[in-house]
Structure 1
Amino acid sequence: MWIGLLWYFNFVQIPSMPKIPDEQKPAIGKVIAPAALFWFRWAALSTVVTGLILATLNGYVLQALLFGYFKGGPETYIGIGMWLGLIMAYNVWNIIWPNQKKALGLVEATDDEKKTAARTAMLTSRFNTMFSIPMLYFMVAAQNLA
């Protein structure tokens, strides 16, 4: 869900915004974007939590977070994927969401602050989109090394 919404924002919503008539844009900013961002940030958190639980239950959480330092092998790959996911989740909660709140007018901000916040959120989201490809690769590669 998290990655699906990330790709929706970057490949559907952002490129489509210039094509939407001005009188319809408030529906995006007041209804669709806040709802999508709610699911986006909570999907990010649930992905991290369930991933850490799964890694703990399978006994490799510490090795993975240390990039397989003591063992090597699949723990190195899953560790890289986990750290990429943790960085992406940090970006969602600490950069994208606070800036989106300003851009969407959910918190007080001047027009210049809204413009800067929208750009910061968009660029961070693009960063996360690019990180999603190696993250998914390393998560899958780890399974295939065992």
Structure 2
Amino acid sequence: MGRQSQDSPILVALDPTTVTSSTTLLSLLDLETLTFDNINSNTWGGMKACLEKANSVLWVSSNRLSENPHTNMMIGLLRSVKHENPTLYIQSLDSESHEQPCAQIIADVLLAFKAATIWQRRGQHGNFLMAIEPELVLDKKRNDYHP
């Protein structure tokens, strides 16, 4: 018999009214359990509510290119959401090392991402040599590259 789907407590408990057009979401959900591994309607509803209202999303995962195909489903969903809502800024960060990305790396990526989105919204992005890359991958040696 198949496994029972389980709620993602964070996505279910999140009050959608707290997510606004100025909210930046940082998701570490796929570091602990894979969101699409065993998704149910409650988790889907919470995720959908977040993605519909947020200003920007940084989704952090590990080993999506080599070991976790369910994480690729999340990346595919984020790509689709971006095409449906071009005002939403989305970036994913994946670590191909067997170690999860450290807090310093996540913070650096989040701050650079947030700064770039602010500059782009203000029309100042042409003054900087910085682009918002939709997908960043830390290779096994912890060097980032863009797939």
Which of the two has greater strand per residue? Answer: 2
Structure showing greater Rg: 1
Q: Which has the higher contact order (CA 8 A, sep 6+)?
A: 1
TM-score when normalising by structure 2: 0.31
TM-score when normalising by structure 1: 0.31
